[in-house]
């Protein structure tokens, strides 16, 4: 479960993804992970955002991290 501010940032990140603003989504997911480093939801979503930004190595790193959680 995500605490209040992290939950708000997660929702904001999802909104950015829906709008196609992947860089803003990346920043919001990073803020979530700053508060809740072991959030499977945030790290796996961040992997997809990195893919959409063309950052395959970062996407792979996040996906590997998510699988370890």
- At 14-62, the pLDDT tens digits run 999 999 999 999 999 999 999 999 999 999 999 999 999 999 999 999 9
Cβ density class 7-39: b for 16+ within 10 Å, e for less: eebbebbeebbeeeebebbbebbebbbebbeeb
pLDDT exceeds cutoff 70 at 1: no
Contact 25, 44 (CB under 8 A): no
Inform me whether the pLDDT recorded for 2 exceeds 90: no
* pLDDT value of residue 39: 96
């Amino acid at each position: 479960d995500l605490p209040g501010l992290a939950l708000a940032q997660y929702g904001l990140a999802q909104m950015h993804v829906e709008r196609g603003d992947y860089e803003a989504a990346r920043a919001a997911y990073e803020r979530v992970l700053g508060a809740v480093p072991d959030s499977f939801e945030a790290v796996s979503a961040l992997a997809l955002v990195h893919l959409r930004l063309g950052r395959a190595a970062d996407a792979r790193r996040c996906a590997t991290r998510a699988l370890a959680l």
